[in-house]
Amino acid sequence: MKCTNRIIANCIVIILLCTTITGCGSKEYEMAYDRNSSVSSFRFLEEQAEEAASGFATDLCVTVSTSVSENDVQIEESAAALLCDLNKKEIIYGKNQYEQMEPASLTKVMTALVALKYGNLDDVYTATSNVEITESGATLVGLKAGDTMTLEQALHGLLMSSGNDAAVLIAEGISGNVDSFCALMNEEAKKLGATRCNFKNPHGLTEEGHYVTAYDLYLIFKEAIKYDEFNEIINSANYSTVYKNAEGSSKELTCESTNLYIKGTYTPPEHVKVIGGKTGTTSSARNCLILYAKDTAGNPYVSVILKCSERGILYEEMTDLLSEIAK
């Protein structure tokens, strides 16, 4: 009798399990229980699964802290700072890296990234009157309505001279208008995991609702340096080219890097080589800088400083930050 009761009890358990799996018996279990499949109910149930999906952040420098400062770095005049070891996938130093701030012309890294992904370097764009920005203090390469320039030329004006008019030319050339391009910037940023930033324009001039975090900039910059053209431009001190005006006459464009490490005005620590980067300055965002650097063994790093009180102090604090590389 006990044996019979045990058999009945086991049958009830099996029926209950089948009901749970199949949804009261009316629907088949969609994932097959196949021990030979790399993805199956067996793999989820088996404690010693042979394969597992890689996490989203396996290739990223991450930290759960809002600051990482177990070192001698003194970042006092800058509102946010970040130093990432790309090979070790570690944040060496962080200060307010998740705080939303204005990026000024560091915005142009995202503009360049979208342009390189969706455009071709030989594409020729025609400037509209929107390139003739009149805001006081706005840096321009001198574009006028009707001027024509290749994307390659425009990217030099964008990243080296920090031309706001070049940013508008690129945005309209890629997407037809600035609003559509900004929507694409935001879409691409979120694909990279940069979820705490929002772009309202392609150049970084002050606009309500336009902001980034130092960590988002790291994510964006890390993607941008995958493009050889981007690396070549940010490593260049000088550049000259010729483009056309509305009448077809030649106009000369001369660009000089705004990065004072590339120009030789400031020197990084002796064990660090600055490959290049992007500067940004507005009265509201203050002084900003993002860099791509390598140590003597060729290991890559990304460093960011946002909202520093003065340009000279910006480079002093960035040099102090870079001194943490390969210690």
Q: What is the pLDDT of residue 210?
A: 98
Residue 56 has pLDDT above 60, yes or no: no
Active-site residue list = 105, 108, 162
Q: What is the pLDDT of residue 48?
A: 43
Residue 317 has pLDDT above 90, yes or no: yes
Average pLDDT of span 254-261: 98
CATH number of 66-322: 3.40.710.10
Query: Which of residues 7 and 190 earns the better pLDDT score?
Result: 190
pLDDT tens digit string along 153-165?
999 999 999 999 9
- Give me the residue label for tokens 């890097």: 257
- Mean pLDDT check: name the lowest of 49-63, 70-84, 264-278: 49-63
Average pLDDT of span 248-272: 97
- Mean pLDDT check: name the lowest of 68-77, 171-180, 247-256, 286-295: 68-77
pLDDT over 70, % of the chain:
79
pTM of this prediction?
0.81
What mean pLDDT value characterizes the chain? 87
**pLDDT confidence of 326, banded at 50, 70, 90?**
confident
Q: What is the pLDDT of residue 61?
A: 67
Q: Are 71 and 90 in contact (CB under 8 A)?
A: no
**pLDDT confidence of 24, banded at 50, 70, 90?**
very low
Q: What is the pLDDT of residue 36?
A: 52
Q: Are 214 and 81 in contact (CB under 8 A)?
A: yes
Residue 54 has pLDDT above 60, yes or no: no
Q: What is the pLDDT of residue 25?
A: 42
